[in-house]
C-alpha cells in the first residue's frame, strides 16, 4: 500500500475555500485526507514525506469537460466557417487513420503537462480510449456513433449495438476511467436514434455527450433543413423542423442532467437558456474553437446566472490551438469579464460538476481524489487566482498529480 505523502506550496488554492499560505494536502491511497497549513498537516503526520514548492501554487487539476484527443495541429483544416471546416475534416478522415493513435497520445500528454487530471473525451466509437487510459488522467471516453454506418438498420438495433459495444469497452478499465455513449449532433444522428440513446443511457445512470447549437449552419439545418450541413450530408430528412436546436433537442428527450451539451455557441437566446436551466443539462464552453469556426460566443454569464452548470472544454487540435484547459479558460475570462476566482472555478470544480464527478474531484478537499497541479507562480497581487490561471495557461505547470500519482514532473522531463 502506498505511503502517505504531503504536497505543499507557498500558496494552496483549494477552490472550495480561500487560498492557504504555505498550504498542504495530505495524500493517502490516492485521495486527499487532510488540507491546511503545512505546519499543521506535517505536525499531525510526522512520518509523511513532504514535497514543498515554496515559490509555487497548488491548484486542483483541470477538468476538461469536452475534448477530442485524436487530432494534431500540423494539418488542421482551415477555420472560417463550420461547414467549410467540417467538409475538409470529412475529406481527411481516411488519411487520418494512420496517425490518430499517435495524435491522441500527444494530445493527452499536452493536457497532462498543462495540469489536466480529468478529461471528457469524445471520439468515433471511443477510438481514443487506450490513449486516455495510458495518460494517467481520470476521465470518460464518449463513443460517438453514426447511424449512417449501420447499413439502414433500425434505430433500436443501432442503439442496442452501440450500448453493447460501450459496455464491453468498460471491461478491465482502471477505476477512474469509463466509456460512455455520445450522440454526436443534431445533424449526424437521426431523432429516433438520439431519443433512444438518451433514454437508455439515462436509465443506466450514464452521462451522455452531445454537440449542440454549435454553428449558424446547425441552426439553419434544424430550423429550415437547408445550408452548408444539409449540403454535406446530402439530406435534410429530419431538419427543417422550424425551431432552434435547443428546442429540437428538448423535443427528442436529449436534455437532462446527465447530458453534457458542448458549445451552445449560436442560436442560444433567453428561451433556450430557460430550457437548459429547466431540464438541468450541463454545458461545456469551448470559446477558442467557436471563434475559429465562426460560431459566435456562448451566453455563458446568462447560463450561469440561471443555474446552468458550465465547465470548460478545449475541443480538439483541428479546431483549437492547444489542449491547455487553463489557456481556454483565460479566453473565457477575457470574453465574459470574469475574475480569477471564477475562472479557476470554471476550470476545475465547475467542470467536475458538469461531467458528473463534482463530489470526487475539482477542489482540494478531504475525501476527494488527490488531483492537483503545481504551478510555478507566487501570487502577490490583488487577484491571486488570476495569476495562477495565467501562469498555468502560459506553461507554468511543473507537476501534475492524478489520483495521488505524479503523472508529470517537469524536473524529471
Ligand atoms: Zn467537439
User: Of 3.40.50.300, 3.30.230.10, 2.30.40.10, 1.10.10.1400, which CATH number belongs to 5-61+363-412?
Assistant: 2.30.40.10
What is the 316 CA–ligand 1 centroid distance (Å)? 7
How far, in Å, is the centroid of ligand 1 from the Cα of 172?
27
Among the ranges given (39-43, 234-238, 267-271, 343-347), the one the predictor scored with the smallest mean pLDDT = 234-238
Alpha carbon separation from 206 to 140, 180, 343, 368, 395 (Å, rounded)? 10, 7, 28, 21, 34
**Dist. CA 82 → ligand 1 center (Å):** 12
- Would you say residue 55 has pLDDT above 60? yes
Residues 47 and 57 sit within 8 Å (Cβ to Cβ): no
What is the distance in A from the centroid of ligand 1 to the CA of 67? 6
Distance CA 335, CA 284 (A): 15
CA of 292 to the centre of ligand 1 (A): 13
pLDDT tens figures, 142-151: 999 999 999 9
C-alpha cell at 185: 449532433
Q: What does the longest C-alpha to C-alpha distance in the chain come to?
A: 68
Task: Kindly give the distance from the C-alpha atom of residue 352 to the centroid of ligand 1, in angstroms, as a whole number.
Answer: 18
Cα 270 to ligand 1 centre (Å): 24
Q: Provide the pLDDT confidence category of residue 1 given band limits of 50, 70 and 90.
A: very low
Q: For residue 50, which of 3, 2, 6 has the smallest C-alpha distance?
A: 6
Ligand 1 mean position, distance from CA 43 (Å): 47
Distance 319 CA to ligand 1 centre (A): 9
pLDDT band, very low/low/confident/very high, at 70 (cuts 50, 70, 90): very high
Cα separation, 34 vs 26, in Å, equals 5
Alpha carbon of 264 to ligand 1 centroid (Å): 11
Q: What is the rounded average pLDDT of the residues 243-261?
A: 98
pLDDT digits (tens, 9 = 90+) for 157-208: 999 999 999 999 999 999 999 999 999 999 999 999 999 999 999 999 999 9
Q: How far is the CA of 84 from the centre of ligand 1 (A)?
A: 16
Cα 164 to Cα 182: distance, rounded to the nearest angstrom: 14
pLDDT, position 300 = 98
Sorting pLDDT into bands at 50, 70 and 90, what band is 413?
low
- Return the pLDDT at 234: 82
CA 24 to centroid of ligand 1, rounded, Å? 36
The DSSP bridge pattern shows strands 116-124 and 208-212 to be unpaired
CA of 262 from ligand 1 middle (Å) equals 7
What mean pLDDT comes out for the span 11-31? 98
Residue 97 CA to ligand 1 centre (angstroms): 18
Mean pLDDT of 216-225: 96
**pLDDT of 87 above 50:** yes
| pLDDT class of 10 with cuts at 50, 70, 90 | very high
- Give me the residue spans of the domains in the chain: 5-61+363-412, 62-354
Grid coordinates of 169 = 469497452
The rounded percent of the chain whose pLDDT value lies above 70 is 99
Mapping DSSP onto H, E and C, the string for 75-120 reads CCCCCCCHHHHHHHHHHHHHHHCCCHHHHHHHHHHHHHHCCEEEEE
Does residue 285 register a pLDDT over 90?
Answer: yes
| Separation of CA 359 and ligand 1 centre (Å) | 25
pLDDT of residue 2: 55
Find cell 454506418 and name the residue.
149
Calculate how far, in angstroms, residue 146's C-alpha sits from the geometric centre of ligand 1.
15
Centre of ligand 1 from the C-alpha of residue 173, in Å: 24
Nearest alpha carbon to residue 266 among 81, 68, 121: 81
Pairing of strands 177-183, 138-145: parallel
Which of the four pLDDT bands, split at 50, 70 and 90, describes residue 235?
Answer: confident
pLDDT at 75 over 80: yes
CA atoms within 13 A on the CB side of 206: 24
Cα–ligand 1 centroid distance for 68 (angstroms):
6
State in Å: Cα 35 to ligand 1 middle: 35
In angstroms, how far is the first alpha carbon of the chain from the final one?
26
Distance 363 CA to ligand 1 centre (A): 25
Q: Cite the beta strand spans of 125-226 per DSSP E.
A: 138-145, 177-183, 208-212
Here the cell at position 403 is 489520483
pLDDT, tens digit, 9 for 90 and up, residues 308-340: 999 999 999 999 999 999 999 999 999 999 999
Class level of CATH domain 62-354: alpha beta
d(CA 158, CA 163): 9
104 CA to centre of ligand 1 in angstroms: 14
Residue 3: pLDDT band by 50, 70, 90 thresholds?
confident
Q: How far is the CA of 4 from the centre of ligand 1 (A)?
A: 39
Scanning the structure block, which residue is given the C-alpha cell 442532467? 257
Distance 323 CA to ligand 1 centre (A): 13
Mean pLDDT of the chain: 97
Amino acid at each position: 500500500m502506498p505511503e502517505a505523502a504531503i504536497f505543499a506550496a507557498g500558496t494552496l488554492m483549494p477552490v472550495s475555500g480561500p487560498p492557504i499560505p504555505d498550504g498542504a494536502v495530505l495524500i493517502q491511497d490516492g485521495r486527499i485526507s487532510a488540507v491546511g497549513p503545512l505546519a499543521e498537516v506535517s505536525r499531525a503526520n510526522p512520518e509523511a514525506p513532504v514535497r514543498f514548492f515554496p515559490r509555487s501554487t497548488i491548484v486542483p487539476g483541470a477538468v476538461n469537460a469536452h475534448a477530442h484527443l485524436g487530432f494534431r495541429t500540423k494539418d488542421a483544416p482551415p477555420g472560417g466557417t463550420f461547414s467549410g471546416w467540417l467538409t475538409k475534416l470529412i475529406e481527411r478522415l481516411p488519411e487520418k487513420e494512420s496517425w490518430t493513435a499517435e495524435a491522441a497520445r500527444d494530445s493527452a500528454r499536452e493536457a497532462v503537462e498543462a495540469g489536466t487530471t480529468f478529461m471528457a473525451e469524445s471520439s468515433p466509437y471511443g477510438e481514443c480510449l487506450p490513449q486516455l487510459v495510458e495518460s494517467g488522467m481520470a476521465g470518460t471516453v464518449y463513443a460517438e456513433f453514426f447511424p449512417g454506418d449501420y447499413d439502414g438498420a433500425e434505430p433500436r438495433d443501432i442503439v442496442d449495438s452501440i450500448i453493447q459495444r460501450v459496455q464491453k469497452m468498460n471491461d478491465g478499465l482502471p477505476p477512474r476511467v469509463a466509456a460512455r455513449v455520445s450522440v454526436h449532433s443534431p445533424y449526424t444522428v437521426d431523432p429516433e436514434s438520439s431519443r433512444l440513446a438518451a433514454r437508455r443511457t439515462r436509465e443506466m445512470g450514464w452521462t451522455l455527450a452531445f454537440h449542440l447549437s454549435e454553428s449558424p449552419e446547425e441552426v439553419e439545418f434544424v430550423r429550415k433543413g437547408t445550408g452548408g450541413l444539409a449540403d454535406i450530408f446530402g439530406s435534410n430528412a429530419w431538419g427543417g423542423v422550424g425551431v432552434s436546436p435547443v428546442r429540437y433537442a428538448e423535443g427528442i428527450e436529449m436534455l437532462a442532467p446527465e447530458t453534457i451539451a458542448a458549445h451552445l455557441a449560436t442560436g442560444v437566446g433567453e428561451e433556450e437558456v430557460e430550457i437548459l436551466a429547466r431540464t438541468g443539462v450541463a454545458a461545456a464552453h469551448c470559446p477558442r474553437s467557436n471563434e475559429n469556426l465562426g460560431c459566435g460566443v456562448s451566453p455563458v454569464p446568462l447560463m450561469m446566472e440561471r443555474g446552468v452548470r458550465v465547465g470548460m472544454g478545449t475541443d480538439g487540435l483541428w479546431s483549437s490551438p492547444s489542449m491547455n484547459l487553463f489557456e481556454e479558460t483565460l479566453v473565457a475570462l477575457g470574453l465574459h469579464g470574469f475574475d480569477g476566482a471564477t475562472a479557476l472555478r470554471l476550470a476545475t470544480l465547475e467542470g467536475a460538476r458538469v461531467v458528473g464527478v463534482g463530489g470526487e474531484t475539482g477542489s482540494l478537499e478531504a475525501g476527494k481524489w488527490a488531483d492537483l497541479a503545481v504551478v510555478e507562480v507566487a501570487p502577490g497581487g490583488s487577484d491571486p487566482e488570476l495569476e495562477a490561471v495565467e501562469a498555468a495557461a502560459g506553461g507554468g505547470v511543473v507537476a501534475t498529480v492524478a489520483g495521488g500519482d505524479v503523472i508529470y514532473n517537469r524536473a524529471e522531463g
